[in-house]
Structure 1
Amino acid sequence: MDARHMLMGVALGLSALVQAEDGPASHISVKVGKPTFVHQLRYEVMYSEKPFELATIYYYDNGVYKIVSPGEDHYGVYLVMGSMTEPSYAISYLSLPSDDWGGNVARHDLRFDARRQVFEQQALSFQDQNIPAQSGTFVQSTHDQADPTRIVWQQPSAQPGTNSAKP
């Protein structure tokens, strides 16, 4: 996966109800790509407003992701700088507006070190533009969840930082 899986032009196979303050409601449909990787994250340094130690991110080949945790469940788009099969790479995420972020968006930039199974994260939200750096460990594997609407939070079977499944 590389820059061809860009943030722009992504279409989710999800329908979202959209309504302007003074206009009629309409739907936006976006197609979800094919399932690729999954990251199971364990935060060691957390953001006090989102103190969820564990999170799982499901990736699709057209730049769509879904993240679930004990306190989050939303979609967004991502762009990989490098490749998720390299020893180190970075990913920028832009969440779609969701209740998780007060009805707005958030941006997260993560740097992954696959050899050490650690990540560093810098985030920015509409409500908080000074989110402190976060970090932790991760496990990467593949997944076959073609329908992200069926994905719900589950306690991970593997603990991040203990063993990484190779794609």
Structure 2
Amino acid sequence: MKKSMKKTAALMLGAAIAMSATGAAAYAEETAMPTKLWFQVGNYNVGIDDSVETLDTTPYIQNGVTFVPFAVIAEKSGARINYDGKKTIYMKKSNNKDTYTFTIGSDKYVFNGEEKTLAAKLTVKSGRVVVPLRDIGTLLGWKVVSYDNQKKIVQMTM
């Protein structure tokens, strides 16, 4: 009798461990961060790994700098952004304690208390804050891997 109780307990423990591992793997898969992004100037679509989502404003180039909606690149990178409703945007990366403060209309930002400079000013297009893609992408851990000058497509990897 004691042997069968031990076997039952061992089987139940094994099943519980297996189920929790499966649940953790499913959760990790569900919340996995993308590893590839692409934007095309003038196109409402953004490529995220193997899927495509539609933007409400298109990326564009101004003075040689590609601009994209701030919320899209931040959220796809796991960062949280908060907007004070006026001109200040606060960003915190999900994987560490780094904080960034940006001001619409300025090319300056504050990183953990230290002032830095972007390639161009944050601005608003079609009611969305847009940012210099390369600068903000780099801050969030992205690397530009290719740019098709004819098609105006920027591809990035994490």
Same-fold call, TM cutoff 0.5 = no
Give the TM-score taking structure 1 as reference length: 0.28
Higher strand share: 1
Give the TM-score taking structure 2 as reference length: 0.30
Higher helix share: 2
Which has the greater radius of gyration? 2
Higher RCO (CA 8 Å, separation ≥ 6 residues)? 1
